Amino acid sequence: MRNIMEAEFKKIFFLRFSKVYLLFTIGISLLIGFIFTVTTNVTQGVAITDLSVMEVVSANMLGVDLASILLIIFTALTISREFTAETIYTSLAAVPNRKRLFLGKYITFLLLSIVVSILMVALIYLTSQIILMANNMSLASLAEADIRQFVFGVLLMPVFYCLLSVAATILFKSSGGGITFPIVILAIPALLNMFPDTIQKVLLPLLPQSAIHSLSGTVGAESFETSGVFISISILLLWLVITSVIAILSFQKRDF
Amino acid sequence: MIEMKNLTKTFKDKISVHQLSLVIHPGAVTGFLGPNGAGKSTTMKMILGLMKPSEGSVTIDGHPYKDLERPISKIGALINGNAINPKLTAKQHLEIIAAASGISEKQIESMLMETGLQNVKHKPIGTFSLGMKQRLGIATALLGDPETVILDEPFNGLDIDGIHWLRELTKKLAQDGKAVLVSSHLMSEMQMIADRMIILAQGKLIADMTIDELAQNSLGSFVKVRSEDNNQLQFLLTEKGAEVKRVKNKELHVYQLDMEQIGLTAKEGRLALYELTKVQPSLEELFVELTEGKVDYISTDNLVTEGGETP
């Protein structure tokens, strides 16, 4: 497995595109988060100094949402290139056990997304502190439970959607599928808001975005999204396991 | 040793490979011939586990490819010379395969040297000619020092020097005891390098023998004879069961009788022979003879109606 992961990392980082894209992802997400935070008087009609520390950090962390979408695109493009360029022939010749090859890719992108996510959240957290300081507000502290929970929950988002994209790209054998599937899953809660409460009550708790919101503590107690820590983690794992199993089965059956 | 038993691959509306049973032997170059759509690439992909057989099996030393402990040391393959990421350099491409297979840096350098890519190893593959890509594909195939080498159309895009190099390389690999399976449309090249020929047409095995055996079994193989009395000799040879054709009244083309028997027959008839020449068909002629009427695609120039006219 170590050999497969080493090869997968080389596939990613030998390409100039990957390095530039990941740096761009971090840079643009920081910028967007910063813009959201310093323009609250325009977007929310509230001056930044009237916001709580948590609200400032929360506005800044919207950059992570963008980072998640950019990471989905990066993952889909990187993996689908093997199918379009047909380099999957050489990959499968070296690692004919398709389940192992899938898991090698999965773990590689898991580690990559964890690193990107931690780096991103740390930088955004740091930016939030600078913004708070510049506005003579008290600093955010990880010693406070709600901020700690929020930061941890936000960390999960890029990792989860990156892994969903790995499975979807292999399942659909295309970047289109690898991008569309996780973004649709990401967007479903917004669509469900248009449906009656009875439907929202049943479907919303099953969606990964609700689980992430619950884990980050950004949902109210009466919200349909709310679920406990154990259930939220189970829902996220279930999504990952089910999509991975379907992708592995499809990958194993496919002719190249 | 690669062994195929009743190997069959069926797509929705077409049988691509039908009940193919073969053994690819070590220490020989095996030519894999067939018209377009004959099932050559499909067979090669099934050997490598890239396609699943609909029926039958293909094993390498008794195991399917996917179950091999270190597959790259068993089979090295060039399936598509263009299937390389053009943004990578030649060395990076080999480093990825080497990393996945636990192969040393030294072996990468050795393969770059062997395939003549040492001087361009840091250049992006996108700037390579097709011939250079083929060389890189061959370097990839040989990276694990495999027991069997499978090369699908390796001569494509190679220049004269490249063709000469590949000819020597395949012979050397076979001399080193490796099994070498080469598919190509270049009959002249196959005739020069292959010890044995496997011919497929419409997914079925048409021939599996040496070129000499192919020629002996060919309807195109005959003995050209000139004698002091061709009429008399034709009569005597026909009596011995030969099929004889007269060409321009000067020579006879004798089928189904070997040179010795023709010589003895002439001696018995007290006829002096002026010429006795064995005429072997080229591989191309043999190929056409064996695959006649068994092609899926044909150019309109070769389509002839019953009345002898092109449609």
The per-residue pLDDT for A120 is 93
The per-residue pLDDT for A95 is 92
Contact B48 A10 (CB under 8 A): no
Residue B90: which of B134, B136, B131 has the closest Cα?
B136
The per-residue pLDDT for B295 is 57
Ranges assigned E (strand) in chain A: none
Report yes or no: A89 at the B interface, CB cutoff 8 Å: yes
- Identify the residue among A89, A92, A97 best suited for mutation to test binding to B, counting B beta carbons within 10 A and taking the highest: A89
The per-residue pLDDT for A237 is 96
Contact A85 B51 (CB under 8 A): no
Taking phi over 0 as left and psi of -120 to 50 as alpha, with beta for the rest, B35 belongs to: beta
pLDDT higher at A202 or B43? B43
Kind plus residue range of the DSSP H or E element containing A38: helix A16-38
CA atoms within 13 A on the CB side of B182: 29
A-chain CB neighbours of B140 within 8 Å are: 90
- Identify the residue among A13, A90, A256 best suited for mutation to test binding to B, counting B beta carbons within 10 A and taking the highest: A90
d(CA A156, CA A178): 19
> For the structural domain made of B222-279, what CATH number should be given?
3.30.70
- The answer to whether B138 touches B151, Cβ cutoff 8 Å, is yes
The per-residue pLDDT for B310 is 37
Report yes or no: B101 at the A interface, CB cutoff 8 Å: yes
Confidence bin at A168 (pLDDT 50/70/90): very high
The per-residue pLDDT for A4 is 93
The per-residue pLDDT for B219 is 65
- Residues A88-115 have a mean pLDDT of 94
The domain segmentation of chain A, as residue ranges, is 2-253
Report yes or no: B26 at the A interface, CB cutoff 8 Å: no
Residue A56, both tokens: 């400032």
- Residues A181-197 have a mean pLDDT of 88
d(CA B90, CA B248): 59
Report yes or no: B149 at the A interface, CB cutoff 8 Å: no
B-chain CB neighbours of A255 within 8 Å are: 45, 50-52
How does the average pLDDT of chain A come out, rounded? 91
B-chain CB neighbours of A93 within 8 Å are: 48, 50, 71-72, 75-77
Name the residue facing B50 among A81, A85, A256 (closest C-beta). A256
Pairing label, strands B75-78, B179-183: unpaired
- The answer to whether B257 touches B237, Cβ cutoff 8 Å, is yes
Domain B2-215 fold? Rossmann fold (3.40.50)
The per-residue pLDDT for B262 is 93
CA triple A210-A216-A221, angle to 5 deg: 65
N-term to C-term CA, chain A: 23
Q: Which positions ≥6 away from B141 have C-beta within 8 Å? A: B76, B77, B78, B149, B150, B151
Pairing label, strands B222-227, B204-209: unpaired
d(CA A171, CA A197): 33
pLDDT higher at A212 or B69? A212
A-chain CB neighbours of B45 within 8 Å are: 255-256
Report yes or no: B92 at the A interface, CB cutoff 8 Å: yes
Looking at the complex, report in whole angstroms how far the Cα of residue A74 sits from the nearest Cα belonging to chain B: 16
pLDDT digits (tens, 9 = 90+) for A12-54: 999 999 999 999 999 999 999 999 898 988 888 888 888 889 8
Query: Mind listing the pLDDT tens digit of every residue in chain B (311 residues)?
Result: 889 999 999 988 788 899 999 999 899 999 998 887 888 889 999 999 999 999 999 999 889 998 888 898 899 999 887 888 999 999 999 999 999 998 888 999 999 999 989 999 999 999 998 888 999 999 999 999 999 999 998 988 888 888 889 999 999 999 999 999 999 877 777 888 888 988 888 888 888 888 777 766 666 678 999 999 999 999 999 999 998 988 877 899 998 888 899 999 999 999 999 999 988 776 677 777 777 666 555 454 544 443 333 33
- Please give the biggest Cα pair distance in chain A: 62
The per-residue pLDDT for B303 is 44
A&B contacts, CB < 8 Å: 79
Residue B196: which of B82, B79, B28 has the closest Cα?
B28
Nearest-Cα residue of chain B relative to residue A5:
B100
The answer to which of A60-69, A178-187, B278-287 has the lowest mean pLDDT is B278-287
pLDDT digits (tens, 9 = 90+) for A218-245: 887 777 777 888 999 999 999 999 999 9
For B210, phi and psi rounded to 5 degrees?
-75, 165
The domain segmentation of chain B, as residue ranges, is 2-215, 222-279
B-chain CB neighbours of A14 within 8 Å are: 88, 92, 95-96
Residue B173, both tokens: 């690999």
- Tell me chain A's radius of gyration from C-alpha atoms: 20
Q: Which positions ≥6 away from B279 have C-beta within 8 Å? A: B221, B222, B223, B224, B253
Alpha helices in chain B (DSSP H): 40-47, 90-101, 105-114, 130-142, 160-175, 187-193, 211-216, 230-239, 259-268, 283-291
